[in-house]
Structure 1
């Protein structure tokens, strides 16, 4: 069974809004590129899918936008080319190497996990909460930003049951960011 890995940026006070932490730098973008490369497919809810598509989909011209620095292009190419599964009851269709997952969430994700490959990656806020409640996440990666946001959505707010985690890896970045990797059920 391939593992489902959840990874997200989070501030010291638990805020997981995508603009609450430090701006991405070369080191953090290399980290996120490597995280996506570990996955056979990405799993997003509607909001995360639409946000990522608007930022990282290759333009029809084939040329990345001028605002993108050279060190952002490997991440852009990785996420653009990745296979994606989108959990949504409101989107009529998706593209960008994506397919909709419909029906029972547990059944759909278990079917993906039972497929061949090295692993699945899930990002976002609401979908990971539902997956955590269903005990379907095998690994959690929290990229902790040395920032106190003081507002915004918080990590896994509303989780029904406590989840015990085992720390399996830690990586510190020059910016003061620390990536913590945990195995579920520790």
Structure 2
């Protein structure tokens, strides 16, 4: 079974709004590019899918926009080419190498996890909360940024039950950000 990893940038006070943290730098973009390339597919809710598509879809001209720094292009190409599954009750269709994930969320994601491959990735706020409540997330990866936002959506707000985690990897960045990867703790009783 391929594991499902939830990956997100988060501020020290738990805010996970994409504009609340540090702007991306070359080192963090290399990190996220490598992570994106290791995933067989990405799961998004409608809001995250539309936000990522508006930022990272390659223009019809075939040329990346001028606002994009050269070191952002490998990430842009990775996410642009990635297989995507979108969970949405309101979208009738998707493109950008994506397909709608239909049916009940739990069984649909379980089917994806049963397919051959190395790993699935999920991002965003609402969908990961639902997946965590269903016990479907196998790894949590937080890039914690040295910023206090003081407002905005917080990480996994509304989680029904506490999920004990164990640290399995840690990476420090020159910016002061720290990427930490956790797995749900095994019950040792």
Deviation (angstroms), 1:103: 1.1
Partner of 1:37: 37
**Structure 1, unpaired ranges of 5+:** none
The 5-angstrom pairing of residues 41-60 of structure 1 reads 41-60=41-60
**Structure 1 position 102, deviation (Å):** 1.3
Q: What's the CA shift string for 1:3-55, capped at 9, x where partnerless?
A: 00000001010000000000000000001111111110000000000000000
Give the aligned partner of residue 161 of structure 2: 161
Residue 95 of structure 1 corresponds to: 95
5+ residue gaps, structure 2, are none
Q: Tell me how far apart the structure 1 counterparts of residues 34 and 121 of structure 2 sit (CA, whole Å).
A: 11
Q: Could you report, residue by residue, the CA deviation over 1:104-140 in whole angstroms, capped at 9, with x for unpaired residues?
A: 0001000000000001000000000000000000000
Instruction: Give TM-score, length-normalised by structure 2.
Output: 0.97
Cα distance between partner residues in 1 of 2:147 and 2:118? 33
- 1:146 and 1:166 map into 2 onto residues whose CA distance is 22
| CA RMSD in angstroms, aligned pairs only | 0.6
Q: Which residue of 2 aligns with 1:149?
A: 149
TM-score scaled to structure 1, two decimals?
0.99
Q: Distance in 2 between matches of 1:36 and 1:184?
A: 22
Aligned equivalent of 2:16: 16
Q: Distance in 2 between matches of 1:184 and 1:69?
A: 37
**Residue of structure 2 equivalent to 1:80:** 80
